[in-house]
Amino acid sequence: MSDEPEEQRNMKRMTWQAENCLACVYFHPNDVLNADLLERGMCTHPKMTPFELVVSGRDWCNLYKEMPQKTIDALQEHASKS
């Protein structure tokens, strides 16, 4: 058993800025090109839609589902043409 307080042990398992909303299939920002920090968007996860949850690209939760990089690239390319 470790001599560390439980809080410190839990912090070591915590991930930061990984699997955040920016790369989640349920994140739908108004501005795809600036969605990282400057833009907010809707969370469209079926469990979250009743709450009309607005999140930033740097938020994260346990309902995350990764969007393929190919899809991210296509969304950004389409947005840059607009």
Instruction: Please state, in angstroms and rounded to a whole number, the distance separating the CA atoms of residues 81 and 75.
Output: 10
Q: Are 58 and 37 in contact (CB under 8 A)?
A: yes
* pLDDT for residue 15: 45
Instruction: Please state, in angstroms and rounded to a whole number, the distance separating the CA atoms of residues 30 and 28.
Output: 7
Whose tokens are 């439980």? That residue is: 6
Whose tokens are 């469990």? That residue is: 47
Instruction: Please state, in angstroms and rounded to a whole number, the distance separating the CA atoms of residues 3 and 46.
Output: 42
Tell me: the pLDDT tens digits for 3-36?
666 655 554 554 445 688 888 999 998 888 777 7
Tell me: the pLDDT tens digits for 33-48?
777 767 789 999 999 9
Q: Where are the alpha helices (DSSP H) in 1-68?
A: 6-13
Tell me: the pLDDT tens digits for 37-82?
677 899 999 999 999 999 988 888 899 999 998 988 888 888 888 7
pTM here is: 0.69
